[in-house]
Amino acid sequence: MPNSTTATKHLLTRRSTSIRNMVDPAPSQEDLKTILKIGARVPDHGKRAPWYFIVFDEQARKDIAPLLRESYKQEDPNATDAKLDLESERFLRAPLVIGVISRIREAKHPMWEQVLSAGAVCLNLCHAAHALGYGANWLTEWYSFNDHFKKGLGLDERDNVAGFIYIGTPTCSNEERERPYLSKIVTHWSPDTPLNKGDKEYNQPKFGLPKQGVKFPD
Ligand SMILES: Cc1cc2nc3c(=O)[nH]c(=O)nc-3n(C[C@H](O)[C@H](O)[C@H](O)COP(=O)(O)O)c2cc1C
The atom of ligand 1 lying closest to the CA of 162 is 1
How high is the pLDDT of residue 174? 87
The answer to whether 156 and 217 have CB atoms below 8 angstroms apart is no
| CATH numeric code, 14-179 | 3.40.109.10
- Ligand 1 atom index nearest CA of 141: 8
Which DSSP state fits 73? H
Mean pLDDT by groups of 10 residues along the chain of 218 residues:
77 95 98 98 97 97 98 98 98 98 96 97 97 97 98 97 98 93 97 96 92 64
Q: How open is the CA angle 125-157-86, to the nearest 5 degrees?
A: 60
- Whether the CB of 142 sits within 6 Å of ligand 1: no
Amino acid at 178: E
160 lines ligand 1 (CB under 6 A): no
Report the separation in Å between the CA atom of 195 and the middle of ligand 1, taken as the mean of its atom positions: 27
For a mutational test of ligand 1's pocket, the pick from 19, 87, 124, 139, i.e. the residue with the most ligand atoms closer than 8 A to its C-beta, is 139
Instruction: Indicate the pTM of the whole model.
Output: 0.95
Q: What is the pLDDT of residue 116?
A: 97
Strands 135-139 and 96-103: unpaired
Q: Whole-angstrom Cα distance, residue 136 to residue 124?
A: 11
Please report the pLDDT score of residue 171 as a whole number: 96
Domain range annotation of the chain: 14-179
Nearest to 128, CA basis, from 30, 47, 211: 30
Structure confidence at residue 204 (pLDDT): 93
Q: Supply the pLDDT for residue 71.
A: 98
Tell the residue nearest (CA) to atom 11 of ligand 1.
139
- By C-alpha distance, which of 59, 87, 56 is closest to 167? 56
Determine which residue's CA is closest to atom 22 belonging to ligand 1. 16
Q: Of all atoms in ligand 1, which is nearest to the CA of residue 18?
A: 21
- One-letter amino acid for residue 97 of the chain: V
